[in-house]
Chain A
């Protein structure tokens, strides 16, 4: 295992160093002579166009035998008219050398001294919600699966949720960078956090790409996706329980796309291991390693699918749930989309499911809240496997409306030290949602859920959420 990981990491690095200098794409600056030639050509074209207009006007309508061969002169005049519609050389050059198709500001095409022209694409997600729980979120306890990271019920009442600000741009011919900041509110305190800050290579040979910095792992399906692309207001239970909602950390990633007709992508990551399910940055700050494979394709023109298997292996020292030892999370994910004629935004059905297996080998330390006297941590050795899964279906009625249902569930394990009741209890939840979109850039969502976190309590929640996207039109993953 470790060898393969190492191999995966070293290979692209050696490729990077051995990479030949790519041919320079930029056209050499125009010489004076070329410019004059271009202008002359333009003048000629304009003259020809004028000539054509003069000569064509009287004849065009009346006297043309339908099937007769076209006279050479007529073709020439048509050609001149065509030439006049070509973008002028200056325009073409400006257009083709513009950075990506990220929203370049609509500046003047002639000049080049606009400092703002190099500003990164800025995109802002504004998000807010109102939630009402029948069970006080502070009294919420999930038997066998302690609340970790952001994997917990939303607070009662109004909440900003997570609003984010993202900058993205090509850095140079070989690198792309992205920074995503989030603003969130916790107990009246505002937090601004760095959600992602990474660079990507854009020109490694053989379809390798490297990423470094802080980013969300590409394991599973939802983990690599930002929450604002989700179909529901919150993440499914297995994400909350096993990945603290979404696993991201400081690290590196290598991905490789296989040369096959079917989409087949392999990836490996190494992370510092600070965040749940990891903790304490073990192994000299290389606490977490992941491997994943994603594959996908089409079935006819109306169906598309994506599936994957992933593994996250981490060594934790004092993770957020009190666990120290080895954790391995396996994920299998599958997505199927059907849409009439392949117009996914106008209708159709999306079905998605993921299955989690969380294996722990180590010890769990906790303070017994009921014990009187000196608070000594209790240590419980644990070797167990918990599981989780969710299945969701979204029916898109048209470009404006969609409606969806999700069932998620967690399975405890014998001897689970996190269990708050004797015996095994498996938490589950039903969720339904209805979304209205005014445009591609704004939506309002109503979500109802029935959650059974332990045998004694159940939580019925209603959430109204708005979500908008301002600024650059970011492209989304499938």
Chain B
């Protein structure tokens, strides 16, 4: 009975106390998009990331706290391309928030804004956790990040026209700083071009596409199937013989398989931040690429010194 009374009161409060037009509330599925929203909107919006760099975004749970956040959001910024298929649709449905439903202006998906790689010709779960639209991990190519920034900025302008000038000005500023950084990164990354890597999960294809690095193997026998010792053993010969730069894993992944292969091949295992917050240096998108490049270059240097 008491619960009833409370419910009635809250019901009334929710219906009649229409809140004054507050700041745009943005729900970002991943830290990289929260960081991008921050670059484009500054303090004009409240942005919250659903996950951290230490979580595997393929398998996040539709936690109550996330439902409450989606409920309050005016804009949802996620990767899309089925990366969040196991939780985002449930959050949106349970939140009852029609303004962020798929296909509405309040739902912004990053991956469909850019040309995607590794679109499978056949979709079969026997091949592991494949994404029919292509590899969704687009945040590791700064060129694609800029494309997404432009589209996202247009969406912010559409949803919050009163601050349009701010969003446009900040996009211009971000674009300039980003292009400058990109040209610096390009120069720095020159020694990496043409090198070969082994990865834990195939989440790096856009980084390799940008840097001109070749991926020669993955520790997971199939995407999202945990590494097995038989599969790892089969990688030893290739990894050894190819003058491999490094074995790459993300901050959230189990370090053991990469360490195992590193111990047997002498190729260094390198933990890359993968997204904003993945290490101390990756405080924002600029830091993410600074850190990623410096770690890859350190691996190249240590390899050359041997």
Contacts and interface: CB of A to CB of B under 8 A. Distances in A.
Interface string B211-225: 000000000000011
A475 B56 contact: no
A94 B11 CA distance: 39
Interface stretch (A33-41, A102-110, A361-369): A102-110
Given A263-B68, A297-B64, A439-B225, A342 B183 contact: no
A317 B98 CA distance: 41
Contacts of B95: 207, 257
A208 B96 contact: yes
B132 A75 contact: no
Given A257-B67, A291-B4, A478-B63, A95 B109 contact: yes
Nearest to A340: B54
Nearest to B128: A439
Contacts of B254: 346
Most chain B CB inside 10 Å of its own CB: which residue of A104, A305, A343: A343
B298 interface: no
Interface in A75-102: 75, 78-79, 81-83, 85-87, 91-92, 95-102
Interface in B94-115: 94-98, 101-105, 109, 112-115
Contacts of A64: 183, 187
Given A1-B1, A91-B112, A75 B64 contact: no
Given A64-B187, A266-B11, A476-B61, 15 more contacts: A4-B4, A60-B190, A78-B182, A81-B143, A96-B112, A98-B102, A203-B98, A257-B95, A260-B68, A291-B7, A298-B63, A341-B252, A345-B59, A441-B125, A477-B90
B103 to A, nearest CB: 6
B15 A82 contact: no
A304 B133 contact: no
Interface of A: 1, 4, 7-8, 11, 22, 25-26, 60-61, 64, 66, 69-70, 74-75, 78-79, 81-83, 85-87, 91-92, 95-106, 176, 200, 202-209, 255-266, 291, 293-298, 301, 304-306, 309, 337, 341-346, 398-400, 439-441, 473, 475-478
Interface of B: 1, 3-4, 6-8, 10-11, 14-15, 19, 51-52, 54-56, 59-65, 67-68, 71-72, 80, 82, 84-90, 93-98, 101-105, 109, 112-116, 119-120, 123, 125, 128-129, 132-133, 141, 143-144, 146-147, 150-151, 175-176, 179-180, 182-184, 186-187, 190, 224-226, 252, 254
A101 B84 contact: yes
B86 A297 contact: no
A352 B125 CA distance: 32
Given A85-B114, A263-B68, A296-B63, A209 B102 contact: no
A478 B112 contact: no
B155 to A, nearest CB: 10
B3 A309 contact: yes
B1 A87 contact: no
Contact of A1 (B4, B85, B89): B4
A164 B257 CA distance: 37
B68 A478 contact: no
Contact of A475 (B88, B132, B143): B88
30 contacts: A8-B7, A70-B179, A75-B179, A85-B144, A86-B113, A86-B151, A92-B113, A95-B112, A95-B133, A98-B102, A101-B80, A106-B119, A206-B14, A207-B14, A207-B95, A207-B96, A256-B96, A263-B67, A264-B68, A293-B6, A301-B52, A341-B52, A341-B54, A342-B51, A343-B59, A343-B252, A441-B125, A473-B86, A476-B87, A478-B62
B134 to A, nearest CB: 10
Contacts of A200: 93
A342 B114 contact: no
B121 to A, nearest CB: 9
Of all A-B residue pairs in the complex, the 7 with the closest CB atoms, nearest first, are A296-B64, A95-B112, A263-B64, A203-B98, A475-B90, A106-B132, A207-B96
A61 B14 contact: no
Contacts of B88: 101, 475
A152 B243 CA distance: 63
A100 B102 contact: yes
Contact of B52 (A74, A87, A342, A400): A342
